[in-house]
Structure 1
Amino acid sequence: MSIYSYQTKLSNGEKIDFGTLKGEVLLFVNTASKCGLTPQYEELEGLYKAHKEKGFEIIGFPCDQFGGQEPGTDEEIMEFCSTNFGVSFPLAQKIEVNGENAHPIYQYLRSQAAADEEFDEAGALQREDRDMVESSDIQWNFTKFLVDRKGNVVHRFAPTVKPKEMERIIEQLVKEA
């Protein structure tokens, strides 16, 4: 299996097959509208606008598993994000990211990048602790997974890492053909 084997439904009801995003740099983010980290939407949108034309895509995955901070319907979430933060990147329908009902894309992402794995200076994933990979639950809203143009999960960012702090790595990845 690869990242391109998965699909999801967007909040507008359309289905997105990740295979259609082959060759793009991808950022997957579990989001929430009533979280202290919600203002990250603004920086995420800034990254999206700055790099979309270079082959960069963000997909937000609203999730209500952390403190009930995403209580709205898919339509309410989409409206909130658009109105308050000008979000134009795709938002998926609300999902779970942990547990037996976790969306398959998040099961895959978690299996590829554990929270405490080491990364080199360029942000490349160093696989030193394979035992932690399978049990690496998402800890909170706004955990971010960065995928290179070949479909490799190359970085997992903690919720507190601001999107702007990831820009150097994103710029490197979008330059790679």
Structure 2
Amino acid sequence: MQSAIGRVLIQMYRATSQQSYLTQVYQIANFIKSNTFYNSDLQSNIWKYWKKNDLPEDVSHVGLTASFPYECYKILYNKKSIYSYQEIQRYINTFMKDTVKSSLFMNGGVNDNVQYWDLKSNMKVGSLTFDSYICNRWLCLSGYDKKLFLLIVDIQNNKNYYTKLSTNDPLTIALLASSEI
């Protein structure tokens, strides 16, 4: 939720150049950073869906969360980027090394090895629905790592994944097209 609000504030700052919006963005970023932890094994980030319980954040929501640091990385606060390139790379690794093990095997979410989807056999373990596995939200980060784009394309092309997508989803088509190499 904070990421969505933060993204709106970033756009408000870009539209008006009012420092108060940027200050709020910086505060939200610091809150998110204080609730994000480093996984040294995967060089990725770990966080929970809600601070007050142990629910893992699913692939789709993780992509929404990661879009805020991506937008923050592109702007300066006190002449310094709010998120570093290294922090952005950790979000990329969260997708590429934690939530997605290969183009045929996806975990339930951040640091969630209990729920997963084996796309090759189409076997799902856990209570996550297909909507939990939407990957196109990660495409914004593909500008920093083309392997991320190629992995998402491979996932999208998998029959057991692709047949679940709505053919009326212009966001998926637009994001894939805008990120194409």
State the TM bucket, normalised to the shorter chain. Answer: under 0.3
In our comparison, the structure showing a higher alpha carbon Rg is 2
More helix by share: 2
Structure number with greater CO (CA < 8 Å, separation at least 6) is 1
TM-score, scaled relative to structure 1: 0.25
